[in-house]
Chains A and B, each alone.
Chain A
């Protein structure tokens, strides 16, 4: 898996969860950049990402990720 792929797949997940096809992800994307991304939606998002990449986030990661870049980092390490 290379990063580009990961970003593409991740973007698809985001489009799905937030119902917004215009979302573009960068390493620096944060919750501030996406309108509906709040703590509740985060739960949905985590679930969807886990399903897409076949991994499980750890509790510390769920609340500890600072931006999409970190999420991608975790996916690269443990995702499929």
Chain B
């Protein structure tokens, strides 16, 4: 099941809310959440729910064992085992094809390429499990005694399939002690509706514009065969916006749903495009992933040869690889790592001295090109993209691209505007007076209603499936 779906919004969610708020006791509420989360996952993945449950059970057990054998060699062994199993699951289900393909490049090796089905959300819940075991080992949280509650943490449907990567230590208390206030409900719903609107209204339509410029993986990026300079830059900018609204929309839904149930997740996006340096970009983009890697991976190489930049390389390699089993993603990660590296060499003081205009141009250019790398999973197409960026063998523009640009010009402008924290600033201004507060809050209500209904209408198109030929 996905969030941007009529059945989820108008059937599953109301049913879940009804049952949840009908329960008098918190633990019953938790059980309702677990039940609905399992239904949510099984809806899309059927038997793979057993993988989810098994992985949770395993890590729950690991947490208990680590608690018992703290700071012993046995404990270290359990920790290592848990890491191996968690990463192994990920490797098998997500990366086995990729690994086999690459091993086959070595002469004499001819492995069959396994076609594993990748269960949805595996990247997220595996990382959540890893964060839990490591936190238990490092004493940042006591292990959870009840498997039921641990399962709640892992399977909770708001954050199961699309993040953010919520750490156990963050919500450990809230599992046992939380309350939904009317403010939680109001803000939660607002957040959810904004997230749905971002995904359905903005992201899905930006996607159309992206395929108009670049084509898709399924058609071999046909449209990129004849890229123009303008088309390359415009298309990559569209990709950046598309991913932002898609991903942050889902994160908003997750955080909003969490609020409704009384949980407080950390933010995952913080207006990433207003950054002035690439390091800052990564503090604003997919924050839960960045902080995960920072806390659990960055310092690992210290204990090796203490190379300062070994950690950096490792983190960015993994960041890239996490996003997909393809070399363009790794390249994308290392690309950003390179810029972070350069910025650390330059030093924060000098980076701050950069005039704002230069900083913005620099960061936006890097980001746009970066998302181009992210989009093309096919190396030849990526090559064409790079060439068109600089105008090698590509015209400046063509009529089709001009046409497409004009066709989406307002959407593009609106998307650009929405990357700025305008809403936040407006609210801050308005809340200085009662009239302003009233106006802002009422407009919020109106917006919510309009956006919800509009998204519901647009979602009708998901089942469009026109047939060319007449069928009796």
Please determine if A and B sit in direct contact within the complex, based on CB atoms under 8 angstroms apart.
yes
Asked if B74 CB lies within 8 Å of chain A CBs, one says no
Asked if B179 CB lies within 8 Å of chain A CBs, one says no
Q: Which 6 A-B pairs have the closest CB atoms?
A: A60-B138, A63-B295, A62-B299, A40-B344, A43-B308, A39-B294
Asked if B137 CB lies within 8 Å of chain A CBs, one says yes
Contact B348 A43 (CB under 8 A): no
Nearest B residue to A42 by beta-carbon distance? B299
Give Cα distance in the complex from A39 to B298, angstroms.
Answer: 8
Contact B138 A59 (CB under 8 A): yes
Residues of chain A contacted by B115 (CB below 8 angstroms) = none
Which residues from chain A sit less than 8 Å from chain B, CB to CB?
35-36, 38-40, 42-44, 46-47, 58-64
Contact A43 B296 (CB under 8 A): no
Main secondary structure of the interface of B (DSSP, over half): helix
Residues of chain B contacted by A36 (CB below 8 angstroms) = 347-349
Nearest A residue to B315 by beta-carbon distance? A39
Residues of chain A contacted by B298 (CB below 8 angstroms) = 39, 43, 63
Contact B137 A60 (CB under 8 A): yes
Give Cα distance in the complex from A76 to B139, angstroms.
Answer: 19
Contact A43 B299 (CB under 8 A): yes
Query: With contacts A35-B348, A64-B140 known, is A46 near B302, CB below 8 A?
Result: yes
17 example contacts (A-B, Cβ-Cβ < 8 A) are as follows A35-B348, A36-B349, A38-B279, A39-B294, A40-B308, A40-B312, A40-B344, A43-B302, A44-B308, A46-B299, A59-B300, A60-B137, A61-B138, A62-B299, A63-B294, A63-B296, A63-B299
Nearest A residue to B340 by beta-carbon distance? A40
Nearest B residue to A47 by beta-carbon distance? B306
Nearest B residue to A39 by beta-carbon distance? B294
* Chain B: minimal CB distance from A38 (Å): 7
List residues of B (354-401) whose CB comes within 8 Å of A's CBs: none
Interface size, B (range):
20 to 34
Contact B140 A59 (CB under 8 A): no
Contact with A along B135-153 (1 / 0, CB 8 A): 0011110000000000000
Query: With contacts A38-B348, A40-B312 known, is A60 near B302, CB below 8 A?
Result: no
Give Cα distance in the complex from A31 to B364, angstroms.
Answer: 28
Residues of chain B contacted by A35 (CB below 8 angstroms) = 348-349
* Chain A: minimal CB distance from B194 (Å): 30
Residues of chain A contacted by B344 (CB below 8 angstroms) = 40
Give Cα distance in the complex from A40 to B337, angstroms.
Answer: 12
Residues of chain B contacted by A60 (CB below 8 angstroms) = 134, 137-140
Contact residue among A38, A59, A64 (Cβ-Cβ distance under 8 Å from B303)? A59
Residues of chain A contacted by B347 (CB below 8 angstroms) = 36
Asked if B262 CB lies within 8 Å of chain A CBs, one says no
Residues of chain B contacted by A43 (CB below 8 angstroms) = 298-299, 302, 306, 308, 311
* Chain B: minimal CB distance from A31 (Å): 12
* Chain A: minimal CB distance from B148 (Å): 27
Give Cα distance in the complex from A71 to B134, angstroms.
Answer: 20
Give Cα distance in the complex from A11 to B113, angstroms.
Answer: 57
Interface centre among A35, A40, A46 (most CB of B within 10 A): A40
Residues of chain A contacted by B295 (CB below 8 angstroms) = 63
Residues of chain B contacted by A58 (CB below 8 angstroms) = 138
Contact A64 B294 (CB under 8 A): no
Contact with A along B290-318 (1 / 0, CB 8 A): 00001110111011001010011000000
Residues of chain A contacted by B302 (CB below 8 angstroms) = 43, 46-47, 62
Nearest A residue to B71 by beta-carbon distance? A58
Give Cα distance in the complex from A60 to B131, angstroms.
Answer: 12
Residues of chain B contacted by A40 (CB below 8 angstroms) = 308, 312, 344
Residues of chain B contacted by A44 (CB below 8 angstroms) = 308
Nearest A residue to B303 by beta-carbon distance? A59
Interface centre among A46, A60, A61 (most CB of B within 10 A): A60
* Chain B: minimal CB distance from A7 (Å): 24
Nearest A residue to B296 by beta-carbon distance? A63
Give Cα distance in the complex from A35 to B349, angstroms.
Answer: 9
Give Cα distance in the complex from A61 to B348, angstroms.
Answer: 25
* Chain B: minimal CB distance from A45 (Å): 11
Residues of chain A contacted by B349 (CB below 8 angstroms) = 35-36
Give Cα distance in the complex from A46 to B279, angstroms.
Answer: 21
Give Cα distance in the complex from A47 to B134, angstroms.
Answer: 22
Give Cα distance in the complex from A46 to B308, angstroms.
Answer: 11
* Chain B: minimal CB distance from A21 (Å): 16
Nearest A residue to B309 by beta-carbon distance? A40
* Chain B: minimal CB distance from A65 (Å): 11
Give Cα distance in the complex from A58 to B140, angstroms.
Answer: 13
Residues of chain B contacted by A62 (CB below 8 angstroms) = 299, 302
Residues of chain A contacted by B303 (CB below 8 angstroms) = 59
Residues of chain B contacted by A42 (CB below 8 angstroms) = 299
Residues of chain B contacted by A47 (CB below 8 angstroms) = 302, 306
Residues of chain A contacted by B299 (CB below 8 angstroms) = 42-43, 46, 59, 62-63
